[in-house]
Amino acid sequence: MSGSIKEMSPLDSSDRLNHIDSLRGFALFGILMVNMLAFQYGTIGFKFIYPGLTSPDQSAHVFIEWFFQGSFYPVFSIFFGFGAVMIWDRSTEKQRPFNLMFIRRLLLLMAIGFVHLYFIWDGDILLAYSITGLIFFFFIKRAAKTLLVWALLLAGFMALPGLFPGDDGAVPPGLKEFGASEQEILAEGSYADVVTHRFTSNPYEAIDYGPGVAPEEQELLASAMSVINFITITVQTLFLFLLGGFIAKKRWLHRPQQNSGILLRASVAGVTAGLILKGAMVFTDNASLDYLGYIIGGPILGVGYIALFTLVFVKTGAASIFRGLAYTGQMALTNYLFQSVVMTTIFYGYGFGLFASLGTLAGILLAVAFFAVQMLLSKWWLGRFRFGPVEWIWRSGTYLRKQPIRK
């Protein structure tokens, strides 16, 4: 029995890649910057706020859309795939079981994501990660070339809708009204009202599909749209997991000094192409460019950010900002959930009730200040404990054994 327990214990983290922790922290900061729009105005409602903003808030909104939105969740997703391959590599190297351990890890993440989505904040990404991770499981052991081919195929599939012209600037009838209803519930409703809204509402059911569509057909179309949305999110997330797995297998980030040429080319190409594609999304009303800017331009810019960040880390990794990012990155799951708890409490009606009252510029400043606090708290916590509190629960459940948490 003792032998099996040893086999199922966590892998030694003494050879941890510190710049990867810093990159996760950097991604977490970018995600918070983007999520501030949804925290303040609702996950649907924030899409319609721009015309009513003041000039400084409009500039802040454009800044977030161009440099952050659609570019930091790819960074986080890429490192999920990257981390999964690293776990498999180390399990193989130390001849420890992987399959059941990894599946338990995903199922526990699924439970955490479900609680987060319905009882804390409906902008959750963890549930999508866990579901997509069960598909990615079948790719982890494949060669780097296989992962790259599949990633490119999925990226091409995702890009196809953007090649067809759409209604520029058109909003599906009923969606804006749904966003307004959502905002009212978040601003004035009790906690029970908000939770009920999450369990019972569906934006696709609010869309008016036309006067000739019968109620039962409308319900069928709403269900079909929900399924299509689920498939789209899964395919996009899988594409990013595969890209992260490919990068891990090529080991470009394991030895950044030796791969500085590749990283330099990736940073220049990624940042330049990403900002151009996303600029077309932000500064035009073309529906196709808007789609391609988010679906393709966002991940390209995210890859550029990863490469550029790594190069800067190689030069100045001892700087305190990188150490602070590494602390938050080591307990990214705890910090991600903590952001949701604090921000919904600040903005929603059952908390301090500041919903839609600060503006996007003040929201950016609040995000920067709060993330600085998270860096300090993470440093304090990791000076005393081995893992973040949620990471400890996740690890203990994954390995079916209570993990030592105190240093």
47-84 per-residue burial string, b: 16 or more CB within 10 A, e: under 16: ebbeeeeeeebbebbebbbbbbbbbbbbbbbbbbbbbb
Residue 403 within a domain = no
What pLDDT was estimated at residue 16? 59
Q: At what angle do helices 332-347 and 320-330 cross, to 10 degrees?
A: 90
Taking only the tens place, the pLDDT of each residue in 27-70 is: 999 999 999 999 999 999 999 999 999 999 999 999 999 999 99
Q: Does residue 322 sit within a domain? A: yes
Computed from CA positions of residues 90, 94, 99, 103, in that sequence, does the dihedral angle turn out positive or negative?
Answer: negative
What integer best gives the mean pLDDT of the chain?
92
Give the mean pLDDT of 191-211.
Answer: 92
Does residue 18 carry a pLDDT above 90? no
Rounded to the nearest 10 degrees, the angle between the axes of helix 18-41 and helix 55-67 is 140
Per-residue pLDDT averaged across 90-115, rounded?
A: 95
The confidence band for 5, taking pLDDT boundaries of 50, 70 and 90, is very low
Residue-level pLDDT at 14: 43
Residue 308 has pLDDT above 60, yes or no: yes
Instruction: Please state the rounded mean pLDDT for residues 209-227.
Output: 85
Show the domain range for 13: 2-166+234-398
In a domain, 339, yes or no: yes
The alpha carbon torsion through 140, 337, 374, 247 (nearest 10 deg) reads 10
Predicted pLDDT of residue 113: 98
Look at residue 171 in the predicted model and tell me its pLDDT.
77
Rounded average pLDDT over 260-270: 97
Say what the pLDDT of residue 169 is.
Answer: 60
Tell whether 206 is covered by a domain. Answer: no
The answer to whether residue 203 is domain-embedded is no
Q: Tally DSSP H helices, then E strands, for the chain.
A: 18, 0
Q: Give the mean pLDDT of 301-315.
A: 95
With 60 as the cut, is the pLDDT of residue 3 above it? no
User: Does residue 204 lie within any of the structural domains?
Assistant: no
Give phi and psi for 385, each to the nearest 5. Answer: -130, 160
- Confidence check: pLDDT of 206 > 80: yes
Percent of the chain with pLDDT over 90: 81
From residue 162, alpha-carbon distances to 62, 156, 167 in Å are 22, 10, 12
pLDDT tens, residue by residue, 287-296: 889 999 999 9
* Statement: the pTM of the whole predicted model exceeds 0.85: yes
Q: Is 210 exposed, middle or buried (0-12, 13-18, 19+ CB in 10 A)?
A: exposed
Distance CA 71, CA 75 (A): 7
Q: Would residue 176 count as lying in a domain?
A: no
Mean pLDDT value of segment 71-100? 94
Q: For residue 220, tell me if it sits in a domain.
A: no
Q: What percent of the chain has pLDDT over 70?
A: 94
277-287, pLDDT tens digit by residue? 999 999 988 88
Q: How many domains does the chain have?
A: 1
Per-residue pLDDT band at 115 (split at 50, 70, 90): very high
CA distance 184 to 198: 14
